Amino acid sequence: MSIRYELGVDFDAVDAIDMHVHLEVDECGHKAMPEDLFEASAAYFKSAERTPSIDRIAEVYRELGMAAVVFTVDARTALGHEPNSVEDLVAGCARNNDVLIPFGSVDPRRGQSAMDDARYQANALGVRGFKFHPSLQGFDPSDTGYYPLWRVLEELGLPAIFHTGQNGMGAGLPGGRGIKLRYSNPLLLDDVAADFPGLRIIMAHPSVPWQEEANSIATHKANVFIDLSGWSPKYFPESLVRMSNNVLSSKVLFGTDFPLITPQKWLAAFEQLPLRDEVRPRILKSNAMTVLGVAQS
């Protein structure tokens, strides 16, 4: 019988919430993507500890006094590769629920099965949101054929993280291994945000080369946020830093992309950004609490 996750984080006791952490290998040793993609992303990010277990991830964040949102990506149709077990991920988060928060993932190209699986992951397993990677999964999120799935997520009341911008997956491979960057243009999410105003959308990463588009969408749509994962803060586009200091101060979220970038490395660079003192705690924790539905905005 599947274990159902129950949120156990004491948000008063943690200093930050990392909204973007990957579990790359499940408890059976199955990797989230084919080996060539796995090796290419490792080379692109030059990460050291590439495949920590769920318990190791919990240990890292517990030692740092932080909580973390953990997920995998179901891209079985596009990659011809079975995804990691969401049940395993949820079970691992359940036994570490003082620091870990599980997000689910479904393959939008599976139609009704994706909708059924989203309901199962939310209602039976207790996931607290969903993760999508349009380029890796090979779909255009603005295509109305996927609207029934977005309607399900809106009805469930759970947030969804969508990869945006440059892509480490397939980087350096011939043709990028067929992965198309245009599916990760944040403008495609503007349609979704407009048509599903009850769906909280998180645009993952600085959206280079479309940062101005992402800034505009997050400014215009109350239900759209930006997580700052996947890049060291020292490389953030200037416009993102500037707007995080004012109009987007309630819209940007701490995220690392661990294990690709460690929290220690990210935070050291974050300290050097010219941000107002009152903005930093919003980015590190309080904005995430709003998105996760555990605090009022």
Confidence band for 23, pLDDT divided at 50, 70 and 90: very high
- At residue 174, does pLDDT exceed 90? no
Domain boundaries, the chain: 16-292
Mean pLDDT of the chain: 92
- At residue 239, does pLDDT exceed 50? yes
Point out the least confidently predicted range of 145-149, 171-175, 254-258, 275-279: 171-175
**In this predicted structure, what is the pLDDT of residue 288?**
98
CA distance 290 to 27: 31
pLDDT tens, position by position, 81-90: 888 899 999 9
Q: How many CB atoms lie within 10 A of CB 148?
A: 13
The percent of residues in the chain predicted with pLDDT above 70, rounded, is 90
Average pLDDT over residues 211-219: 98
**In this predicted structure, what is the pLDDT of residue 75?**
93
DSSP string over the chain: -PPPP-----TTT-SEEEEEEE--B-TT--BSS-HHHHHHHHHHHT-SS----HHHHHHHHHHHTEEEEEE----HHHHS-PPPPHHHHHHHHHHTTTTEEE-B---GGGTHHHHHHHHHIIIII----EEE-HHHHT--TT-GGGHHHHHHHHHHT--EEEE-SS--TTTTSGGGGG--GGGG-THHHHHHHHH-TTS-EEEES--TT-HHHHHHHHHH-TTEEEE-TTS-GGGS-HHHHHHHTTTTTTTEE----BTSS-HHHHHHHHTTS---TTTHHIIIIIHHHHHHTSS--
Point out the least confidently predicted range of 34-38, 199-203, 216-220, 261-265: 34-38
**In this predicted structure, what is the pLDDT of residue 40?**
59
- At residue 214, does pLDDT exceed 60? yes
- At residue 285, does pLDDT exceed 60? yes
Whether domain 16-292 has CATH 3.20.20.140: yes
- At residue 297, does pLDDT exceed 60? no
Point out the least confidently predicted range of 76-90, 140-154, 238-252: 76-90
**In this predicted structure, what is the pLDDT of residue 39?**
64
